[in-house]
Amino acid sequence: MKTHAMVCHAPNAPLVLEELDLAPPGPDEVLIEVMASGLCHTDLSQIEGKAAPYPFPVVVGHEAAGVVRAAGAAVTSLAVGDHVIALGIGECGQCSHCRSGRTNLCELFLADMAAQPSPFALHGRKVSAYTGVGALARHLVMAERNVAKIRRDVPFDLACTIACSVATGVGAVLHTAHVTAGSTVAVFGLGGIGLNVVQGARLAGASRIIGVDINPLRDGQGRRFGMTDFVHGGETDTVAAIRALTGGAGADYAFECVGNAALMAQAVDCTRIGWGCTVVLGVPPDGQTLSLVPFQLQLGRTVKGSFMGNMKGRSELPGLLDHYVAGRLNLADLVTHRLPMDRVNEGFAMMKRGEAVRTVVRFGGEGA
């Protein structure tokens, strides 16, 4: 069948609306009509070629919510009409990773990364699907293991955010760091991921949540999600400021949400001796390396990586919407801009200027 998608043909090139060929769903796949898709900073990194694991041309986007329109004969857990989110990390339920409580990195996902499958083609040439999703398209074909059924009472433009930004931030707090009640948390970078770390820390019962950013607008925004203190990273010694706010001890937990190796080192340095834990979430440009003095770790600190918040896609992500409906998660303030498909490039421009927290593309809807 034919579908429309926003395609990036080369690094730093604007996205172009193209009519693509879409392969039909196989026996274990479903056809999804996308209703809303969030724009993520990792999409921008792919577009700019800074961290670009997928070859051009590529359909970016990986935060998609929509409706199942067709299902293959072997599909058993999804049906036509189901509301769903597409998952860059699937959950086969059978491999040792899926059966463990330690990771969300399904072994089939790791194999798929190397194969880089895509159902999209333009004039007979393969078009990559970023993270295996390619969410800035009107339709997707996804394996059943890469699709999660969600409740029907949450608007698509909010529901799509749990597919990446909410899962990554909240999950890193609850599933990677295991933040404890009464602890102190520092969050470096208050974009879509960082603000979800903030509200994840609030959900975990942290007593002090310190946000760090160079954009002063993030001060007011962060407090709506539970931030207690703000440090302007461009005007002060960040590590010293965090230590001052914590009586000299440092934060119990720190999260780097920007993708900057220098900030990662600061995040480690701001944690307290004995048990400070730093979680790295940001994806740095290709070639950046993290340099640490071993004694920093020998003093009892730990550094962890987290991919999609260590949350299992099919079995755990839908539960985030239960938190939203119960009033425990704030998704309404997370989505600051809504745009139609033909204004996607404006959305990425706002992201670069720091004007948007999360911009959502509503397919066929009106911009706001």
Q: Where are the domains of the chain?
A: 2-163+334-362, 166-307
CA–CA separation, 107 vs 91, rounded Å?
Answer: 9
Low-confidence stretches of the chain (pLDDT beneath 50): 365-368
Please tell me the class of the 166-307 domain: alpha beta
3-state SS string over 318-330?
A: HHHHHHHHCCCCC
State the CB neighbour count (10 A cutoff) for residue 254.
33
Unique residue bearing structure tokens 């199942």: 68
Residue 208 exposure: Cα atoms within 13 Å on the Cβ side: 18
Peptide bond preceding 57 in cis form (omega within 30 of 0): yes
Residue type, 257: C
Please tell me the class of the 2-163+334-362 domain: alpha beta
Of 294, 321, 281, 125, which is closest to residue 195 (Cα–Cα)? 281
Cα four-point dihedral sign 212, 247, 265, 312: negative
Give CA angle at 72 (68, 75), nearest 5°: 80
The whole-number pLDDT of residue 364 equals: 59
At 17-38, the pLDDT tens digits run 999 999 999 999 999 999 999 9
CA–CA separation, 188 vs 183, rounded Å?
Answer: 17
Unique residue bearing structure tokens 């755990």: 316
337's CB contacts (< 8 A; 6+ apart) are 347, 350, 355, 356, 358, 359, 360, 368
Give CA angle at 316 (81, 112), nearest 5°: 80
The whole-number pLDDT of residue 189 equals: 97
